[in-house]
Structure 1
């Protein structure tokens, strides 16, 4: 899949309608997509945990 298809799938599968990836213009394999998706999902979850912890610490 190309960059545009990869972005569309990430938006759809992770429910991020306005997500714009900063990735190279080339073809990507399904395994590369799955790795990117897993990493992005982990980053989002970590951001949410950090945000909640920071909000709780600040009262």
Structure 2
């Protein structure tokens, strides 16, 4: 899949409609997509966790 298809699948599967990936214009395999998706999902979860902890710390 190309970069545009990869971005569309990430937006759809992770329910982040305005996400724009900063990735190279080339073809990506399904394995690369799954790796990127897992990393992005982990980053989102970590961001949410950090945000909640920061909000709780600031009262």
TM-score, normalized by length of structure 2? 1.00
In the alignment, the residues of structure 1 paired with residue 17 and residue 44 of structure 2 have an alpha-carbon distance, to the nearest angstrom, of: 14
Partner of 1:54: 54
TM-score using structure 1 length: 1.00
Q: State the aligned residue count.
A: 59
Q: Which runs of 4+ in 1 moved over 2 A?
A: none
Unaligned runs of 5+ in 1: none
Runs of at least 5 residues in structure 2 that lack an aligned partner in the other structure: none
State the Cα RMSD in Å: 0.1
